[in-house]
Amino acid sequence: MKRRQFLKLSAAAALATPAAAGLSKAWAQSYPTRPVRMIVPFGPGGPTDLPARIIAQRLSETLGRNFVVENVVGASSNIGTAQAAKAAPDGYTILVTVNNLVINPSLFEKVAFDPYKDFDPIALAVGFSSAFSVHPSVPAKSVKELIEVIKASPGKYSYASPGLGTPSHLLGEQFRVAHNLDIVHVPYPGSGPAITATISGHTPICFASTTTAAPQAQDGKLRVLAILSKKRASSLPEVPTIAEAGFPGMDGDGWVGALAPAGTSKEIVALLNKQINEIMAVPEVKEKLVGLGLDPIGGTPKDFAGVMRTEGERWAKVIKAAGIKAK
């Protein structure tokens, strides 16, 4: 889904849904009465963790109870997602995740959750792009040159991604298949670890979020060859999009959204939706998110449910076309 379509949702969404507007003051004060667990199924420092922590801090301040981010990593987000799916639908467990939620059922032979039946969407929070990066030692200054370098040394190069089934991984596989490259995929539990592996030289190529790649590129620790999006990244304005680099059809934006276990009270979902929309509209929050390479979105639970369906169908086609399967 295009980022501008994401942003249209934000413009169209009212900051308070009708259900939330109708909540009584007495009821609103009754939730939460204890800390709320926010499961992030990826490691710290990536495009999922960073907005989750901003949201958690703001919710803690406005609702008067701690919203605690817990990174439950493993199995390309499947472990943390399954934990959230099995949690009591009482409003005290929230899942904050990315596209993997709707991608993994098409990628893995079996997952312990159904993204549509086991969760109630709360709100789409932010969108983000991925960066196609290399270690400075790689003798390529463009995507075209990198293809030539890889073909000249088959089997020598590997690429890192934030995990199996992430948009970054799928884009990397599109790249490999499209150009018949002998290159190995190395998955990591999040964008932070993936970028770290590349700047240390373990995996000389990386497909990961612009959020984590941009600071490293600005410090000269990475060379970003292209932005895997319809538009250039504000944090790296000099870097071309993948289409501008001569390879259209490889763009793929990610998103971060919040969900509750299916059956959670509609009033709780509406309250959290209202709060997250308001957080996304706070000027200093917007400025901070944009500075991290994230686009605030917002919208209704229905909006988010529609995005989930569209993205699930889209990436299922990519997975089938590339013949990608994970066990």
Q: Across all residues in the chain, what is the average pLDDT? A: 89
Q: Say what the pLDDT of residue 189 is.
A: 84
- Do 3-127+253-322 and 130-228 have matching folds? yes
Tell me the three-class secondary structure of the chain, residue by residue: CCHHHHHHHHHHCCCCCHHHHCCCHHHHCCCCCCCEEEEECCCCCCCCHHHHHHHHHHHHHHHCCCEEEEECCCHHHHHHHHHHHHCCCCCCEEEEECCHHHHHHHHECCCCCCCCCCEEEEEEEEEECEEEEECCCCCCCCHHHHHHHHHHCCCCCEEEECCCCCHHHHHHHHHHHHCCCCCEEEECCCHHHHHHHHHCCCCCEEEEEHHHHHHHHHCCCCEEEEEECCCCCCCCCCCCECCCCCCCCCCCCEEEEEEEECCCCHHHHHHHHHHHHHHHHCHHHHHHHHHCCEEECCCCHHHHHHHHHHHHHHHHHHHHHHCCCEC
The reply to whether CATH 3.40.190.10 applies to domain 130-228 is: yes
pTM: 0.83
Backbone angles phi, psi at 124, to 5 degrees: -80, 125
Tens digits of per-residue pLDDT, 60-77?
Answer: 999 999 999 999 999 889
pLDDT at residue 46 above 90?
no
Tens digits of per-residue pLDDT, 119-139?
Answer: 999 999 999 889 999 999 999
Find the mean pLDDT for residues 192-197: 93
Q: Say what the pLDDT of residue 11 is.
A: 43
pLDDT at residue 269 above 70?
yes
pLDDT band, residue 5 (cuts 50/70/90): low
260: nearest Cα among 24, 25, 31, 15: 31
The CATH architecture one would assign to domain 3-127+253-322 is 3-Layer(aba) Sandwich (3.40)
pLDDT at residue 17 above 60?
no
Q: How far apart are CA 241 and CA 234, in angstroms?
A: 12
Query: Which has the higher per-residue pLDDT, 190 or 38?
Result: 38
Q: Where are the domains of the chain?
A: 3-127+253-322, 130-228
